[in-house]
Structure 1
Amino acid sequence: MKQFFFPFLTWLGLVNFNTLKADFFAGLTGAVVVLPQGVAFAAIAGLPPEYGLYTAMVTPIIAGLFGSSLHLVSGPTTAISLVVFSTISRYAEPGSEQFIQMVLTLTFLAGVYQLVFGLMRLGMLVNFVSHTVVIGFTAGAAILIATSQIKYVTGIPIPKGESFLHTWVDVGVGIGATNLYILAIAGFTMLSALLLKRYLPKMPHLLFGMIMGSLASIAIGGAQHGITYVGEISGQLPPLSMPDFSLASLKQLASGAFAVALLGLIEAVSIARSIATKSQQRLDGNQEFIGQGLSNIAGSFFSSYAGSGSFTRSGINYSAGAKTPLSAVFAAILLGIIVLLVAPLAAYLPVAAMGGIIMLVAYNLIDFQHIKHILHSSKTETSILATTFFATLFMELEFAIYMGVLLSLIIFLMRTSMPNIVDLAPNPAEPRHKFAEVSEYGLKECPQLKLLRVDMSIYFGSLDKVQRELACIAERQHIKHVLIVGESINFIDLAGAEMLIQEAKRLKSLGGGLYLQGAKNKVYDFMDRIDFVEEFGEGNVFSSKEAALQSLTKRLDHRICATCDKRIFRECAKLPGAKTA
């Protein structure tokens, strides 16, 4: 129970001088990396730059201490920043006091959703959301982010609040108004960052790009050529804040907060699992939900906006040799110290350089390799990818998330609603005449007793497929006795049990019967709870194949057996008409 409420107790015993040293240097690396990212992500969210830094100071500490991953680093992320902007910008002017107030409320609500999901032990629900949804949404978000920065890296005047298509129409119309000085600063910033990443990949290339862009702007006298600057960032630690708890605000932001919460959980758990496969760590999805929820709830009272796990910072954290979540705590503390020292220098950072950095961040969001793999390997996953991607570009962002998740769930249900039903027969090549697939081995079948194996589950979604198969056997193959070999049935729900009872009665009325053999223990346990066997027929459920065949061969029409040339069961040797040695 202590580990549920205080999960850091599970790894606190690992801490020693060596782990502290490793975590400190990993945290220092993370603090340097997140400095430019925090400023860029806040700009994407429509917030003053310092709010991205506040988020990078508060959420990693809470999420690290109350989550389950040893290496996940939380904080501001690109996708969530875009959803925050999309949700709040329709109600308030970005950057205004009202906008900030609503963002804090949105963050609090998202944290509450996440915490409730964790306390209700719903961590496994993330398993039902295709990772393709995240890839499609992220790719679409990357293009939206790049589009939003066009006016900052070109100087083309584009009205606020323009849609994706209208923005590019404005770019085409106003391309002649491009400010070449602004474009040059943005291009030089991106080139500097890319060159450093190419030749010194361990260095903070985004920070380097910002510095080079600032120096270039100073060198050419940027203000004289229409270049604007970010302005001085408030050099202080996260101040206290208060979300708006009015009923009107909570109702207004409830839907958007749910989308933020869902996206944040999918991001965090996906990233944590990805790193856990390398570190050989077992994760607790429910605890991760709790950690993310508490971090956002706490963050809303310390001037932070919604955060989640960061793939870049988490990957760097692991690669830098972090041993425990203290690395995330060190990163947050060291970032606070850095901000106090360098915040005034933001007055020399050109908006064009910031736009260039955000462009690079957006490009790196697109997982080209995974997208290519999806397009070549699965039409179903491709449909999920395309739906989420285009919905992100042309619809409200939270609706795009819901659509992608809904589509992935529908496809999951479609797959489980079409269980594979296989014809079986004894294989004479096996010593004990083990059941094998008829189509694979070309086996003979009994003309009176059908053997079936149902792969997956018999539940409300798969009833139609199972019933149609049983009807086909009776009506077209004229077989009235059907034995379902249940070794591959994962579960049977109440609707499935009622269907089996109904089919058993129907076949009995035709002079045959429906039988079940070899179900899993949890299936039998469920049957006991609902008194299934009493209605299905106590003599129709068997524990072994031998017992089933010994009983069922006696129930067949022996007049047909007398002239049958199949005789695939060893029990057939005892029936009338059998050839004697």
Structure 2
Amino acid sequence: MTFTKIFPFLNWIPIAKKHWKDDLIAGITGTIIVIPQAVAFAIIAGLPPQYGFYTAMIVPVIAALFGSSHHLISGPTTAMSIVVFATISKFADPTTELEAYVGLTLVLTFMTGVFQLSMGLANMGKLVNFVSHSVILGFTAGAGILIAFKQLKHIFGLPVPQGSSFYEILSYIATHIRETNWYVFLVAMSTLAFALIIKKIKVISRYSMLIAMILGSVLAYFLGGESKGIETIGEITGKLPQFKIPELSLEKVKTLSSGALTLALLGLIEAVAIARSITLKSHQRIDSNQEFLGQGLSNIIGSFFSSYAGSGSFTRSGVNYQAGAKTPMAAIFASFFLVIVLLLFSGFAAYLATPVMGGIILLVGYNLIDFEHIKQVFKTSQREIFVLATTLFGTLFFELETALLGGIALSLFFYLERTAKPNIAVMGLTKDHLFINTIRDPETKECPQLKIVRIDGSIYFGALEVISDYFNNLYQKNEVKNVLVIAKGINFVDLAGATWLEHEVNKWRARGGNIYFSGLKIVSQDVLTKGGFLDHIGQKNFFKDKKTAIAEIYKNLDEIICENCTMRIFHECKTY
């Protein structure tokens, strides 16, 4: 491992010196964007607002220093916040046991970072490639709906019991709708309307949430504020986070392990997916393992400074790139300016009304539902629809970790199911002497002594049943004694596949025939070579191309049958 691999920031620091002005402007823009998000996400996580600021200050810096993306901005996110709340609220009530709640949150964050760091050290970065996009779509859509419903008590001004589930919230609102505080409702809906209107004004659209929060709070003040039942979020402690080691214990580790693993996976999937989406425009090369390490270290170190589990933010990362950021220094600048905001302007948060945050978070939840891509899923694949729907409804009605892991398991099942059914095409020769699938052209001709088939898929334990059944049926029909397998589409052969191949070749040889292979990739012969299967089967059964294979196989065909054959499809047949 090279020195720059351990300290990746050494790669971009020389570049940052040249582009510090671009990164400074992007950093200032990022600070303005993160202020309302930090408050909103902390509330979603069940934490006081300052913890959102702490997470937005510490996590981005560490992730920027040890990650690989030049534009990814980490910190508090919606999905991570709701998983934190769902995990910790089962063991402590944030409204009555805040100290215990915060303590467990920091332990959860530390464990999340450990899982992520371990995955990075084990070079498991490619794991995110196996998570279907439909799983993420379903999970984020479900999380968005949950977030929105959990804010309804702040929208209607109703005392919905803490920890109520999706359907319990719906039931409570329906039965107590007449008790709605219409002042609270007006402030929440007005804030939502302000945000939507400002979003359409291009010049200030990126600051829509911040401006809407200010306008909503002003409206709440003129309506009468707390005298009308419009509560505020209270003062934000204008202090920097103190260094404190999370109170780890074996009991807490066991209790929070499943939630930490869910957060780790979700955070890594989010971060790498966002980083890669930005590279489509920036053309920067991303190292998934390095992102794993960066995210892991950011959460581990963040847990020592009162930060809760964070990940990459699509909104802030997109704005960071659009604002002209050139290096990760922009993230560090953004954190620095956020420190100034916390120290000098935190007192203004005392005027921030709870229904204002309710309206903003309602919008955040709605924006999590990617309607465009969900429509694409419904148009293209029934299996992906099932994966998406399972993950979405699982998020609403079951534990979040169960929903996420269940969606991943289901998508992997469908993937394995597809690879377990490789396409086996019977090849025939056209009048122009081209080999094509006989299904595509019924006029193709086949040699009565040599069956030519193409296998599109790997020969591994999961696909053996389908491949074995095909060859067994072919063997029992006893129509031909020799088979040529066009093997260009075989990407790998595992131990089970190699064992089966040796057995099948020997079976056909015992009847006076043989199985041959043309164009099998060198990489696909790895297990065959190392396991000695290639020697047992014989090098003479493997050819580099069809032409060479047919020329050699032809020599072993029954001459009497060839003399009376009317097909004459090979060039060699002209000798008769």
Is TM more than 0.5 here?
A: yes
CA-to-partner distance for each residue in 1:446-500, whole Å, 9 max, x for gaps? 1221112211211111111111121222224622211111112111111111111
Is this contact kept in 1: 2:487–2:518, CA < 8 A?
Answer: yes
Residue 474 in 1 paired to residue 483 in 2? no
Q: How many residues align?
A: 571
SS at structure 2 position matched to 1:424? strand
Match of 2:244 in 1: 241
* Mapping for residues 190-269 of structure 1, pairs under 5 Å: 190-199=192-201, 200-269=203-272
Alignment equivalent of 1:136, drawn from 113, 138, 141: 138
Is this contact kept in 2: 1:146–1:359, CA < 8 A?
Answer: yes
SS at structure 2 position matched to 1:229? coil
* Mapping for residues 60-209 of structure 1, pairs under 5 Å: 60-94=60-94, 96-199=98-201, 200-209=203-212
Residue 377 in 1 paired to residue 380 in 2? yes
Give the drift of 1:412. Answer: 1.0
Is this contact kept in 2: 1:243–1:301, CA < 8 A?
Answer: yes
Give the drift of 1:198. Answer: 1.2
Mapped to 2, the partners of 1:451 and 1:12 lie a distance apart of 59
Instruction: Identify the range of structure 1 (90-99 vs 531-540) with the bigger mean alpha-carbon deviation.
Output: 531-540
* Mapping for residues 419-438 of structure 1, pairs under 5 Å: 419-429=422-432, 433-438=433-438
CA-to-partner distance for each residue in 1:100-144, whole Å, 9 max, x for gaps? 111111111111111111111111111011011111000000000
Mapped to 2, the partners of 1:476 and 1:162 lie a distance apart of 64
Is this contact kept in 2: 1:157–1:174, CA < 8 A?
Answer: no
Mapped to 2, the partners of 1:571 and 1:280 lie a distance apart of 53
Match of 1:25 in 2: 25
Is this contact kept in 2: 1:139–1:367, CA < 8 A?
Answer: yes
Residue 361 in 1 paired to residue 369 in 2? no
CA-to-partner distance for each residue in 1:180-239, whole Å, 9 max, x for gaps? 000001011111111111124444111111111111111121111111110000112222
Is this contact kept in 2: 1:107–1:306, CA < 8 A?
Answer: yes
Mapped to 1, the partners of 2:102 and 2:531 lie a distance apart of 55
Normalising by structure 1, we get a TM-score of 0.96
Match of 1:454 in 2: 455
* Mapping for residues 469-508 of structure 1, pairs under 5 Å: 469-476=470-477, 478-508=479-509
CA-to-partner distance for each residue in 1:63-110, whole Å, 9 max, x for gaps? 111111111000000011101110111011125111111111111111
Is this contact kept in 2: 1:448–1:479, CA < 8 A?
Answer: yes
Give the drift of 1:508. Answer: 1.7
Residue 548 in 1 paired to residue 557 in 2? no
CA-to-partner distance for each residue in 1:244-271, whole Å, 9 max, x for gaps? 2211111111111000000001111111
SS at structure 2 position matched to 1:161? coil
SS at structure 2 position matched to 1:487? coil
Is this contact kept in 2: 1:420–1:456, CA < 8 A?
Answer: yes
* Mapping for residues 341-360 of structure 1, pairs under 5 Å: 341-360=344-363
CA 1:543–1:315 in 2, change beyond 3 Å: closer, same or farther? same
Which stretches of structure 1, 4 residues or longer, exceed 4 Å deviation after superposition? none
Give the drift of 1:426. Answer: 4.0
SS at structure 1 position matched to 2:68? coil
Q: Which amino acid aligns with 2:489?
A: S
Instruction: Identify the range of structure 1 (293-302 vs 469-478) with the bigger mean alpha-carbon deviation.
Output: 469-478
Mapped to 1, the partners of 2:72 and 2:573 lie a distance apart of 63
Instruction: Identify the range of structure 1 (415-424 vs 300-309) with the bigger mean alpha-carbon deviation.
Output: 415-424
Q: Which amino acid aligns with 2:310?
A: G
CA 1:14–1:435 in 2, change beyond 3 Å: closer, same or farther? farther
Mapped to 2, the partners of 1:424 and 1:328 lie a distance apart of 58
Give the drift of 1:543. Answer: 2.7
SS at structure 2 position matched to 1:235? coil
SS at structure 1 position matched to 2:146? helix
Match of 2:529 in 1: 528
CA 1:31–1:480 in 2, change beyond 3 Å: closer, same or farther? same
Residue 309 in 1 paired to residue 312 in 2? yes
Mapped to 1, the partners of 2:341 and 2:477 lie a distance apart of 78
Residue 405 in 1 paired to residue 411 in 2? no
* Mapping for residues 17-56 of structure 1, pairs under 5 Å: 17=18, 19-56=19-56
Is this contact kept in 2: 1:423–1:452, CA < 8 A?
Answer: yes
CA-based RMSD: 1.4
Give the drift of 1:427. Answer: 4.4
Runs of 5+ in structure 1 lacking a partner?
A: none
SS at structure 2 position matched to 1:568? coil
CA-to-partner distance for each residue in 1:406-464, whole Å, 9 max, x for gaps? 111111111111112222234452xxx45333333442111221112211211111111
SS at structure 1 position matched to 2:30? helix
SS at structure 2 position matched to 1:86? helix
SS at structure 2 position matched to 1:488? coil
Is this contact kept in 2: 1:38–1:53, CA < 8 A?
Answer: yes
Runs of 5+ in structure 2 lacking a partner?
A: none
Q: Which amino acid aligns with 1:251?
A: K
Q: Which amino acid aligns with 2:542?
A: V
SS at structure 1 position matched to 2:15? coil
Alignment equivalent of 1:396, drawn from 399, 403, 418: 399
SS at structure 1 position matched to 2:105? helix
Mapped to 1, the partners of 2:206 and 2:110 lie a distance apart of 35
Give the drift of 1:11. Answer: 2.1
SS at structure 1 position matched to 2:333? helix
Mapped to 1, the partners of 2:525 and 2:79 lie a distance apart of 46
Residue 12 in 1 paired to residue 13 in 2? yes
CA-to-partner distance for each residue in 1:263-291, whole Å, 9 max, x for gaps? 00111111111111111111111111111
CA 1:383–1:261 in 2, change beyond 3 Å: closer, same or farther? same
Mapped to 2, the partners of 1:517 and 1:469 lie a distance apart of 19
Instruction: Identify the range of structure 1 (562-571 vs 19-28) with the bigger mean alpha-carbon deviation.
Output: 562-571
Is this contact kept in 1: 2:498–2:527, CA < 8 A?
Answer: no
Mapped to 2, the partners of 1:447 and 1:3 lie a distance apart of 63
Normalising by structure 2, we get a TM-score of 0.97
Q: Which amino acid aligns with 1:65?
A: L
Mapped to 1, the partners of 2:342 and 2:7 lie a distance apart of 30
Give the drift of 1:352. Answer: 0.6
